[in-house]
Amino acid sequence: MAFSPTLKLCQPNCKTITFIDITNVYNATTNDDGWGAANSVTGATVTAATITVKDSDGDTVFTYDVLSQIPDPVTGDITFTDYSYSLSDGRYTVTYSITVGEAEDTYTHNQTVLITCNFECCISKQLAKIAKAYCEDQCDTSTIDDYLLIEGLLHAYKSAEMCEKDTIKDNIKARLQRFCDYQCDDC
């Protein structure tokens, strides 16, 4: 099989993104599309390596050049230096591109990701308000009701994304955004 790069994205907080090359090392039995001489792709043969993030309209949000971070030899996962960038909540296409050798053979990995970091921050802040509101007035359940509503909307938003129901997802996103704009500071 031919080399096939694979990338994982993690957003540990709303201001940084961690990218990890999880292609791993070639193994004839367990990983025949990995890094290594059998696929003629090693860290030394890479001439360009980028991660490009595009928004749902196809506009490039940023391109991260990771060439200098690819070791030779590759011995396992490659965790790239965290990229400082704050993505708005929504759908993004991430393209990991590796160019190799004089022939400039290019290998790519594309994936679509749904970012919900800001919504989750907002919901966490709403959850934190419940204890205080309950202590102030045990009969007023509006804070709990607000939390349950916004948490349910987030789950519906993620489900609409998974089911490719863009119109429903966009309507839910607008409601989530309105709630968070009104209720949350510093998310």
Q: Are residues 94 and 43 in the same domain?
A: yes
Q: Number of structural domains, the chain? A: 2
Average pLDDT over residues 71-81: 96
pTM, full prediction: 0.85
Provide CB contacts within 8 A for 128, sequence distance 6+.
none
Q: Encoding tokens for residue 182?
A: 């009104």
Same domain, 92 and 34: yes
Residue 100, pLDDT score? 94
19 in a structural domain? yes
Asked if residue 2 belongs to a domain, the reply is: no
pLDDT in tens, 82-107: 999 989 999 999 999 999 988 889 99
Local confidence band at 19 (pLDDT 50, 70, 90 cut-offs): very high
Residue 104, in any domain of the structure: yes
Task: Answer yes or no: is 14 within a domain.
Answer: yes
Which of 75, 97, 115 is the last residue before a domain boundary?
115
Tell me, yes or no, whether 13 and 84 share the same domain. yes
Within 10 angstroms of residue 46's Cβ, the number of other Cβ atoms is 19
The domain in which residue 173 lies consists of 117-183
Nearest to 87 by CA among 126, 60, 50: 60
> Residue 177 falls within a domain, yes or no?
yes
- Structure token digits, residue 108: 């790519």
The number of beta carbons lying within 10 Å of the beta carbon of residue 135 is 8
